[in-house]
Structure 1
Amino acid sequence: MSQPESTSHVVLPTWVDSSLFKGMLRGIERESLRMQSNGFLSQALHPKAFGSALTHPHITTDYSEALMEFITPPQDSIKKALHYLADIHAIAHRHLENSEKLWPLSMPCMLDDQEENIRLAQYGTSNVGRFKTLYRHGLGVRYGRRMQTISGVHYNLSFPDQVFEALQQHESDDALKSLSLQDYRSHRYFALIRNFIRLTPLVMFLVGASPSVCQCFMTGREHHLLPLLKGTLFLPYATALRMGNFGYQNSAQKQLGIHYNTMSGYLEGLQKAVKTPYAPFSHLGLTDEQGEPIQINDHVLQIENEYYSLVRPKQVPKAGETPSQALENRGVGYVELRAVDVNPYSSIGIDENTAAFLEVLALHCLLQDSPDLLDEEQLQIERNQAEVVNRGRAPNASIIDATGEHPIEAWSRMQVIAMQPLADLLDVTYSTNLYSAALALMLKRIDEVDETLSAQVIADTLENGGTWGFGSLMAQQHAMSYEQHPLSPDTLSYFDDLAVQSLQQQQQLEQDSSLSFEQYLADYR
């Protein structure tokens, strides 16, 4: 196996100045299951003290009623984003009922044999609320409810317009120089996305933290996992099972051919999927024996957000816009990096090292050349991802790229070393050493595989007698850290007001609806 050679000679153009990156924004979405004191998934409703899951901007639910989602607004530094996320966790912990805690791992806590006990998220009686619950019902019918109990972290990142203006000025291609800023910005974000997809094996290797699962998660499924301890399954060298065959997968989507080579091609692919019936989903039917709807439609995707991807181009939708209409109307505003496991050692699911690493990586992906991603390379990337997910810490794990096959450590080291000038640049921008420190930590994980999060999770799962023992210990530690987290009177009053306002907004939506849900659904279909 050859040592990899860098395929890009210019990592950091000479004209790039650190001041360009003042104005970067980042926001974080973190998911976590509410669990009962016995470790089983909560059966209780979303506590009313949180406010409305339908209309609250920071505290909502994802698939199930027990799957919390905490969302920060965009912040101008990593420190502020993490602090905001910590505030949300501390507020949420205050309002949990019946000694419930937040489960700290990506893979779920104890699930019983009955899938119906994974209760769908409820958003009230308005048409939009009922539609959201029906969408989740459809996901359960299509893929099973267990798959939807997995948690993750989504890292949202945008670069200021001056970065794109400077990049465009230095383009040698006249066609790119003549694009509007909006179109050029979208073009560069799509290039970033292609490169991020190429480098997702690096993310899974360095911050993957789901090498094992509770046996209950695999109930009724064929699998190749091995017993680690009673009640816990694993693969000896796995890093991020959340990102593998047992995580968010959808064989129907693989046939879509959605690509990130152009925005028009991406949007066309999404639209086609939302409008194309898919025979296996048609066989499930649209209604149950009582005539109640069980899925929004029988198409490849019920709605655009059903498309599971490692990274998404995003634009904030206005009222009545779908995500793709927002992209079409105003271009890409930011990227959502979705290949990130929950870090069980952090009380908020992500630490500053992971955040800084992701930002350096995203900048690297933005500045590197990014040829179109064609089918042959896509298959190669999927092979690399599977290799890292299932056996990334194996002594003979390898990555295949355009220059050949390489040991994973050599390939990873080359990628991280190539990012060093960008870490230095961001350190100058923010007057910090955070970015360089994050890369130094990642190099340490590459040099000593036992330092990776996935290796630590295995060691601590063994030490604590299984997934439940380890997870409950961390949940208890995190609960104590939420209690010690200081909340200012202003923060407390802000979240109290939001809870009240969100419930009022939900009530307003429920009163406003003159259209029956049947008609609302028929109109959507």
Structure 2
Amino acid sequence: MITTDLQTILSALSMPEHKHAIRGIKRGIEREALRIEKDGTIAQTPHPKGAGHPLTHSSITTDFSESLLEFITPVSEFPEQTLAQLKELQKFTLSKMGDELLWPMSMPCFITDQSDIALAQFGDSNIGRMKTLYREGLKNRYGSMMQAIAGVHFNISYPDSLWHSLQTLQSNTLPLQQFISDKYLGLIRNFKRELWLISYLFGASPALCSSFLQGKESHLPFKKLGIGTLYLEHGTALRLGDLGYTNSAQSSLKVTYNSLDEYIAGLREAIRCHSDLYGELDDYTSETPKQLNKNILQIENEFYSPIRPKRNALSGEPPTHALERGGIEYVEIRALDVNPFVDTGISIEQINFLDVFLTYCLLKPSSQMSWDEQKLSQDNLTTVVNQGRDPAVTLLQGSKDIPLREWAERIFSELEDVAKWMDEAYGTSKYISTINELKTWVAQPEKTYSGRLISLLKQKQQDGGVLALDLAAKYKASYQDVDYSEYSQKGLDLAAAESEQAAISIKESDDKDFVTFLRDYFAKA
């Protein structure tokens, strides 16, 4: 049997020999959170002593800035376990932070000047210095303010049982890993086409502190609230727009997702292509380097994308080499704002929805996606970022304008079918319950995270920073009542101490100077 449309695939997967094939989805979460002082300003202190070394700790590290913590959960099949792990990692780290708090928003707190944002420090080993110099390059290319933005990354992989069932049902004779990689790429293309829906539902950054603009004019129609909060009346996720993680120099990079070879070639061209914009900045060969190199991308991770194909890399292995070696192992969703309404920054409701939405993207037929179509999908995302909750907003589907509400209702109609199939496989009703609830948000945009946030700010007539600070204090206090179940205080202290020793060992094993180390790294990459 060769299955084509979504309904046919779901019907085939409902047969007794395939009905449980979806069971065994694995997930992991990476949550970023800015460390702040009790008065709401960005923390100037180094990485919390006792939390472990950011270079070598597997679960507690820093992202771009020294104040931006990153919590990484292990891979698990159970979302409740993942959220418990995330909660306990935050509880442990907060216990090492004195009076400091975790900022519960994506867009940063009040920051007087970009110089207040210290680059993340990873020690004086070669790899540690490389990580910090990479961030020095980001600072000099895009400014430090962007480095204070926080997000949540959601990683997902599907079980072998699903791949075997799909390959059988589709009479596919490719080597299994090639089939898996092709299917993940299809998921990515469909995700990019309808990413705007994630921004509409879960965007939680419709407002920002005016200090973020650092005195620069904005073309966006901001309204003002309180002393210094700026917001878009119908905005959803400023973090995903022109003010957030964007790179105008990357707009010419035609990285596409129609085959793994095509994706790898596009990304490698970007890390080899000399940049006219950054060519004047000193690179690693200088005595006072300002960036790793003078290419459009210093390394592959500089490529900003809301979704990435991934494979766990070997030590020192660049991401595309890992993909070339073993194919796609999982996908990383990078389009989620920090959810301010829960202490973990992501809710079980979001995880349930992402399970269904990403499975829908995987199973739904996915045609090749041209560069022009990718640009159109980005235009749709920008529209939703800036005005997604406007009842009259329209998006482009091909060459036609379509009301957001109409398109979203079509998607939810198919999500319902996927959710029912997944519930049957898992013996639950959580998926259809989640889809039924979130479907009501289409006609009632005030239920979305951005809608709730703007309503709260207007109701209280206060700055966003006041609300965020209240939530930060509330969440920290709540951790006093959290008992360890996934970890233990002793185990986390031991892991922190072992990471410190591991960082020392890495430094001691360095057998070449920094310039030679980087020259060899780039030659390999």
Q: Would you call these one fold, judging by a TM-score over 0.5?
A: yes
Q: Tell me the CA shift for residue 117 of structure 1.
A: 1.5
Q: Give the aligned partner of residue 373 of structure 1.
A: 369
What SS class does the counterpart of residue 66 from structure 2 fall into? coil
- Tell me which residue corresponds to 1:320: 316
For the aligned residues, what is the CA RMSD? 1.7
Equivalent residue number for residue 208 of structure 1:
203
Matches within 5 A, 1:152-191: 152-171=151-170, 177-191=172-186
Alpha carbons of 1:244 and 1:79: their partners in 2 closer, same or farther (altered >3 Å)? Answer: same
Which of 283, 295, 299 lines up with 1:286 in the alignment? 283
Take 2:343 and 2:67, find their aligned partners in 1: how far apart are those partners? Answer: 18
**What is the deviation of 1:171?**
2.1
Range that drifts further, 396-405 or 256-265: 396-405
Instruction: Tell me which residue corresponds to 1:3.
Output: none
2:498 equivalent in structure 1: 501
Alignment-mate amino acid for residue 492 of structure 2: F
**Equivalent position to 2:466, from 469, 473, 487:** 469
**Paired amino acid for 2:236:** T
How far apart are the structure 2 equivalents of 1:9 and 1:319? 40
CA contact (8 A) 1:27 1:71 kept: yes
Distance 2:419 2:488 in 1: 33
Shift of the alpha carbon at 1:490? 5.2
CA drift at 1:489: 9.3
Larger displacement relative to structure 2 (66-75 or 414-423): 414-423
Cα distance in 1 between the residues matched to 2:359 and 2:487: 35
Deviation at 1:301, TM superposition (A): 0.7
Task: Tell me the equivalent position of 1:129.
Answer: 128
How many matched pairs?
512
Residue 14 (structure 1) aligns with: 11
2:212 alignment partner in structure 1: 217
Q: Which moved more, 1:208-217 or 1:453-462?
A: 453-462
CA distance in 2 between counterparts of 1:85 and 1:204 reads 23
Deviation per CA, 1:320-349, whole angstroms, max 9, x where unpaired?
211111111111010001111111001000
The aligned amino acid for 2:41 is F
Partner in structure 2 of residue 4 of structure 1: none
Structure 2 match to 1:412: 408
**Is the counterpart of residue 354 in structure 1 residue 350 in structure 2?**
yes
Shift, 1:382, TM fit: 1.6
Please tell me whether the aligned partners of residues 28 and 153 of structure 1 are also in contact (alpha carbons under 8 angstroms).
yes
Matches within 5 A, 1:426-437: 426-437=422-433
> How many angstroms apart in 1 are the aligned matches of 2:239 and 2:140?
20
Instruction: Using the TM superposition, name which of 276-285 and 395-404 deviates more.
Output: 395-404
> Distance in 2 between the 1:475 and 1:65 partners?
19
Task: Give the TM-score normalised by the residue count of structure 1.
Answer: 0.94
Partner SS state of residue 405, structure 1:
strand
SS in 2 for 1:479: helix
Contact 2:64-2:148 at 8 Å conserved across structures: yes
Offset from partner CA, 1:84-114 (integer Å, 9 cap, x none) = 11111111121112x100000010011112x
Aligned pair in 2 of structure 1 residues 11, 83: CA closer, same or farther (>3 Å)? farther
Answer yes or no: is the 8 Å Cα contact 1:106–1:341 preserved in 2. Answer: yes
Q: 1:458 aligns with which of 428, 435, 454?
A: 454
Q: Which runs of 5+ in 2 are unaligned?
A: none
Stretch deviating more after TM superposition (224-233 or 50-59):
224-233
CA deviation after TM superposition for structure 1 residue 429, in Å: 3.1
Kept after mapping to 2: 8 A contact 1:33/1:149: yes
* TM-score for the superposition, normalised by structure 2: 0.94
Measure the CA separation in 1 of the matches of 2:373 and 2:5: 17
Aligned to 2:25: 24
- Per-residue CA deviations over 1:253-277 (Å, capped at 9, x if unaligned) read 1111000111000000111111111
Q: How does 1:85-124 map to 2 (within 5 A)?
A: 85-97=86-98, 99-113=99-113, 115-124=114-123
Aligned to 2:481: 484
Distance 2:437 2:340 in 1: 17
Q: Tell me the equivalent position of 1:342.
A: 338
DSSP-derived class of the 2:479 partner: helix
Label 1:360 to 1:504 Cα distance change in 2 as closer, same or farther (>3 A): same
Q: Deviation of residue 458 (structure 1)?
A: 1.0
In structure 1, which of residues 247, 260, 263 is the aligned counterpart of residue 260 of structure 2? 263
Cα distance in 1 for residues equivalent to 2:174 and 2:303: 29
Q: 1-side partners of 2:399 and 2:486: how far apart?
A: 57
| Secondary structure in 1 matching 2:356 | helix
Shift of 1:222: 2.6
Looking at structure 2, the residues matched to 319 and 40 of structure 1 have their Cα atoms a distance apart, in angstroms, of: 37
CA contact (8 A) 1:258 1:266 kept: yes
Residue 379 of structure 1, CA deviation: 2.5
Q: CA distance change for structure 1 residues 103 and 353 in 2, over 3 Å: closer, same or farther?
A: same
